[in-house]
């Protein structure tokens, strides 16, 4: 069961996507992610590029992000994200129009998304790609060259395996372990920031 754990929408129960399409981040990883981010979530711009059910982006919105973009290339996942947006933001009393305006949901491939949102800077990016996905080198390069990240951006990658060691050349990397899940925090090294 997926639940928003904190913030203004705490305890909202969300729908899950078919596990054959996507795997949701475990609660322990989600809690770890937002503990690491801390107060930087407030008034931040947040991207979840592989949104799944949308739970990470909706948690970010609940905790005070000023702009949240959730993307998934699967049409089924996209439809679940829209449902979870409505579950989260709509109530019998009123619709929270301000938070509706803070949230963008898209149904694009990762590369199409990056090309469409070129020059859109994000403070925090969360990448939890599909099983057996090993193209993070290319995606990180595209995020940088298309100016979706800068020297202050936090990039998180959730995986079940280690990152490509060559990423150490351009990024400071911290690794957090939650059971079998690994969460990596990447920030640009100073020489990359000047490019």
Mean pLDDT within 8-29: 82
Q: Is 144 helix (H, G, I), strand (E, B) or coil?
A: helix
Tokens of 3: 């639940």
Count CB atoms within 10 A of the CB of residue 82: 14
What whole-number distance in Å separates Cα of residue 99 and Cα of residue 183?
Answer: 28
pLDDT of residue 92: 45
pLDDT tens for 55-89 read 999 999 999 999 999 999 999 999 999 999 999 99
Query: What mean pLDDT is reported for the chain?
Result: 90
Under 8 Å between Cβ of 74 and 105: no
Cα 148 off chain centre by? 13
What whole-number distance in Å separates Cα of residue 16 and Cα of residue 182?
Answer: 21
pLDDT tens for 126-156 read 999 876 677 788 999 999 999 999 999 999 9
pLDDT of residue 22: 65
Q: Is 12 helix (H, G, I), strand (E, B) or coil?
A: coil
Tokens of 12: 């909202």
The pLDDT of residue 33 is above 70: yes
Q: Is 13 helix (H, G, I), strand (E, B) or coil?
A: strand
The pLDDT of residue 117 is above 70: yes
């Amino acid at each position: 069961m997926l639940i928003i754990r904190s913030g203004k929408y705490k305890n909202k129960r969300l729908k899950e996507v078919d596990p054959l399409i996507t795997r949701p981040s475990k609660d322990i990883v989600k809690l770890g992610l937002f503990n690491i981010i801390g107060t930087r979530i407030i008034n931040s711009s947040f991207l979840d590029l592989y949104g799944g059910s949308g739970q990470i982006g909706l948690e970010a919105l609940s905790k005070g992000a000023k702009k949240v973009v959730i993307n998934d290339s699967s049409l089924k996942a996209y439809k679940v994200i829209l449902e979870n947006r409505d579950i989260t933001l709509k109530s019998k009393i009123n619709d929270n129009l301000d938070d509706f305006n803070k949230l963008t949901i898209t149904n694009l491939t990762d590369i199409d998304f990056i090309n469409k949102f070129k020059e859109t800077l994000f403070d925090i990016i969360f990448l939890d790609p599909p099983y057996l996905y090993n193209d993070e080198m290319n995606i990180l390069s595209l995020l940088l060259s298309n100016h979706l990240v800068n020297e202050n951006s936090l990039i998180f990658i959730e995986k079940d395996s280690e990152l490509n060691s060559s990423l150490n050349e351009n990024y400071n990397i911290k690794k957090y372990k939650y059971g079998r899940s690994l969460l990596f925090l990447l920030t640009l090294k100073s020489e990359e920031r000047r490019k």
